Amino acid sequence: MRGPSPLTPGERELIAGYVSGLNACEFCHGAHTAAAVAFGFPEDLMPKLLDNVDTAPVPEKLRPILKFVKKLTLTPARMVQADADAVFAAGWTEAALHHAIAVAARYNLVNRLIHGHGIGANPDTFRARGAHIAGKTGDNWKENESVLDRQGQEKG
Amino acid sequence: MPFMKSLPDTANVREIFGLKPELRRAHGEMGRIIMRGDSELTPAERETIAAYVSRINRCDYCYGGHSELAKSLGANSSIFENMFDDVDAVPVSEKLKPILQFANVLTLQPGKVSQAHADAVYAAGWSEKALHDAILVICRFNFMNRLTLGHGLDPAPENFEKRAASMAYSTGPQGKE
């Protein structure tokens, strides 16, 4: 998510938030959407993206990547060369597509880790967690742990 | 046929990780922990879950390698001759069925997993730790399936057994290479 990449950290967070939304993972969706916003994407973009990836006001260059990760998330076995070619035609390299696939695959893992353990979302913490993930404030890891601990205690 | 010219026609997972070598080590380490670390689930059971997830995601590449690997670890080959989406039709032990049911929902409808799905696993005699271990396998293969399908790898059925034998963590219980 933060290593050298043709995709900016903000673009990777947008993909993470989008994939998480498609997988109905409120926990990841909330936090990574907030991180994308902290990196400069408009706050009202994500709902529009989830509503319609073809018409959402994203930079045109990014649209084929978002369409690729949507398909890879919802119907992974239907990927074809044309999906990749649309990404390349927008000016991205093979390395960029590889990075986008890695991010999408990662959130298909993480969303299921959250769903599988029945972890719910607390919208009050999204903005703070997003800012932490984006590296805009202090120690994110500690905060995440405390959120999980709190939820565990409430449940118990 | 891979979607990228930088991958050969015969590309495998190793070559995908060749695009980002630092990820290969992290991924291998994660694999040894999830697939071969201490668990109530035997390596054969974990490979059976891996094959089932790959089957319902229609990832022939991963299904081929991991079904062969499961068989080589002692899983009954009839399981893979009858690996249908419908868990009831898969001839696995009654104990493993609720775990495959859990895998089905978490893979195909991740937002629909409920306490009842977890309770069915516990009712079959598994601990919370075992369910956690199963979830990790399910998550890993939802990642792997998309990594291979996203890059357009050729399933190459003639290589299933060879791939199963060459998996880095498949050579011993401690994952020694």
Question: Looking at CA atoms only, how far is residue B165 from chain A in angstroms?
Answer: 25
pLDDT at B167: 81
pLDDT at A137: 60
pLDDT at B177: 32
Distance CA B86, CA B40 (A): 24
Q: What is the mean pLDDT of residues A9-21?
A: 98
- The architecture (CATH level 2) of A9-155 comes to Up-down Bundle (1.20)
Distance CA A108, CA B142 (A): 6
CB contact under 8 A, B3 and A84: yes
Q: What is the mean pLDDT of residues B152-170?
A: 85
Q: Using one digit for the tens of pLDDT, what is the confidence trace for B22-34? A: 888 888 899 999 9
Q: Using one digit for the tens of pLDDT, what is the confidence trace for B119-148? A: 999 999 999 999 999 999 999 999 999 999
**Which residues of B are less than 8 Å from A80 in CB distance?**
152
Model's pTM, two decimal places?
A: 0.89
What is the SS3 string spanning B54-96? HHHCCCHHHHHHHHHHHHHCCCCHHHHHCCCCCHHHCCCCCCC
Percent of chain B clearing pLDDT 70 (strictly above): 95
**Which residues of B are less than 8 Å from A77 in CB distance?**
57-59, 149
For residues A21 and A50, the answer to whether their CB atoms sit within 8 Å is yes
Q: Which B positions 42-101 lie with beta carbon below 8 A of chain A?
A: 57-59
**Which residues of B are less than 8 Å from A30 in CB distance?**
none
Q: Which of A25, A83, A109 lies nearest to residue B143, judging by beta carbons?
A: A109
pLDDT at A114: 95
Domains of chain A by residue range? 9-155
Residue A143 predicted with pLDDT over 60: no
Sequence-distant (≥ 6) Cβ neighbours of residue B74 within 8 angstroms: B42, B44
Q: What is the mean pLDDT of residues A112-137?
A: 82
pLDDT at A146: 38
Mean per-residue pLDDT of chain B:
92
pLDDT at B168: 63
Q: What is the mean pLDDT of residues B142-160?
A: 95
Mean per-residue pLDDT of chain A:
88
Residue B166 predicted with pLDDT over 90: no
Least CA distance to A94: which residue of chain B?
B4
CB contact under 8 A, B138 and A112: yes
CB contact under 8 A, A109 and B142: yes
Looking at the complex, does the CB of residue B16 fall below 8 Å from at least one CB of chain A?
Answer: yes
Residue B46 predicted with pLDDT over 90: yes
Least CA distance to A110: which residue of chain B?
B139
* Domains, in order of start, for chain B: 13-171 (1.20.1290.10)
A28: its two tokens: 């990841």
Q: Using one digit for the tens of pLDDT, what is the confidence trace for A29-42? A: 999 999 999 999 99
Please report the ipTM that was assigned to this predicted complex: 0.89
Question: Looking at CA atoms only, how far is residue A90 from chain B in angstroms?
Answer: 15
pLDDT at B173: 43
Q: What is the mean pLDDT of residues B149-172?
A: 84
Q: Using one digit for the tens of pLDDT, what is the confidence trace for B77-111? A: 999 999 999 999 999 999 999 999 999 999 999 99
Q: Which of A44, A41, A62, A42 is nearest to A53 (CA)?
A: A62
Q: What is the mean pLDDT of residues B3-22?
A: 88
Q: Using one digit for the tens of pLDDT, what is the confidence trace for A41-60? A: 999 999 999 999 999 999 99
Q: Which of A85, A104, A117 lies nearest to residue B146, judging by beta carbons?
A: A104
Looking at the complex, does the CB of residue B30 fall below 8 Å from at least one CB of chain A?
Answer: no
Looking at the complex, does the CB of residue B108 fall below 8 Å from at least one CB of chain A?
Answer: no
Q: Sorting pLDDT into bands at 50, 70 and 90, what band is B170?
A: low
Question: Looking at CA atoms only, how far is residue A97 from chain B in angstroms?
Answer: 9
For residues B128 and B122, the answer to whether their CB atoms sit within 8 Å is yes
pLDDT at B21: 83
pLDDT at B17: 85
Test the B interface: residue of A26, A101, A148 with most B CBs within 10 Å: A101
